[in-house]
Amino acid sequence: MATESAPLGMCPNCGSDITRGYLLIEYDTEEGSERFAECPDCREIVHPVH
Ligand SMILES: [Zn+2]
């Protein structure tokens, strides 16, 4: 995939970019896919924001 190295999004706590390597779980909901990742900076489990 061409977007493999693109960040998942930003940490809502500290604003750091979260890359795919920190993705913990991804699942589909009625509204789309939900993702949870560990922030590499503050070590919180967050929902990356765009
Ligand atoms: Zn963070």
Q: What is the mean pLDDT of residues 1-23?
A: 85
**How far, in Å, from the CA of 30 to the mean position of ligand 1?**
27
Residue 50 confidence class, pLDDT cut points 50, 70, 90: confident
Model confidence at 4: pLDDT above 90: no
**How far, in Å, from the CA of 13 to the mean position of ligand 1?**
5
**What is the overall mean pLDDT for the chain?**
90
**How far, in Å, from the CA of 37 to the mean position of ligand 1?**
10
**How far, in Å, from the CA of 26 to the mean position of ligand 1?**
18
Report how far residue 30's alpha carbon sits from residue 42's, in angstroms, rounded to the nearest whole number.
Answer: 30
Q: What is the mean pLDDT of residues 6-34?
A: 93
Model pLDDT for residues 22-34, shown as the tens digit of each residue? 999 999 999 998 9
pTM of the model: 0.77
> Which tokens sit at 48?
């990356």
Using an 8 Å Cβ cutoff, are 10 and 21 in contact?
no
**How far, in Å, from the CA of 17 to the mean position of ligand 1?**
8
Report how far residue 50's alpha carbon sits from residue 45's, in angstroms, rounded to the nearest whole number.
Answer: 16
